[in-house]
Amino acid sequence: MSGHNFEFIRRVRYSDVTVGDHVFYSRYLEFIEEARGEFFRHIGLPLSDLTKQNLQMPVVDLQVKYRAPAQYDDELTISVQLTSLTRLRMTFQYRIINQSARQLVKATILHACTGDSGRPRRMPAELHDLLAAALATRIQ
């Protein structure tokens, strides 16, 4: 962690880029999802454990700003920051920067908490407590 943001490092693979040598726009969402999975593993509750508890976190709102493209072999840092939390929803903010510290992508994603049926479900207390601690210590 850098400050109270979780950071995940990922190198751009050849399969991530187009013939024009820039990352295809939807791949950034995959990078973000990979970083979110690592964030949950870092706080001690891997997403696979939450799935076993009948908890899903579908995306209900997504905002993405593309500022510059990443290219093959770039080293990307994906910063994950929890910005709001209730028992039923959580919002994360993401920033993707390259090895030159140039911001490439900024995204805000709102997740709902549901059971396997898709109906709203309160998150388990253990998860809420871990996320509340992350929210309380985030960089303002």
SS (H, E, C) 71-139: CCCCEEEEEEEEEEECCCEEEEEEEEECCCCCEEEEEEEEEECECCCCCECCCCHHHHHHHHHHHHCCC
| Domain contains 29 | yes
| Domain contains 58 | yes
| Domain contains 1 | no
| Domain contains 107 | yes
Q: Is 6 helix (H, G, I), strand (E, B) or coil?
A: strand
Range of the domain at 132: 6-136
Percent of the chain with pLDDT over 90: 91
| Domain contains 36 | yes
- For 69-87, write each residue's pLDDT tens digit: 999 999 999 999 999 999 9
Residue 102 neighbours by CB distance under 10 Å: 12
| Domain contains 98 | yes
Given a cut of 70, is residue 2 above it in pLDDT? no
- For 104-140, write each residue's pLDDT tens digit: 999 999 999 999 999 999 999 999 999 999 888 754 4
- Rounded distance between C-alpha atoms, residue 4 and residue 11, angstroms: 23
Q: How many domains does the chain have?
A: 1
Q: Is 11 helix (H, G, I), strand (E, B) or coil?
A: strand
Q: Is 7 helix (H, G, I), strand (E, B) or coil?
A: strand
What is the domain-level CATH number for residue 38?
3.10.129.10
Give Cβ neighbours of residue 99 (< 8 Å, ≥ 6 apart). Answer: 74, 75, 76
Would you list the DSSP string of 25-89? TTHHHHHHHHHHHHHHHHTT--HHHHHHTT-B--EEEEEEEE-S---TT-EEEEEEEEEEE-SSE
Q: Which two tokens stand for residue 97?
A: 């920067």
Report the pLDDT value the prediction gives residue 16, as an integer from 0 to 100: 95
- For 53-73, write each residue's pLDDT tens digit: 999 999 999 999 999 999 999
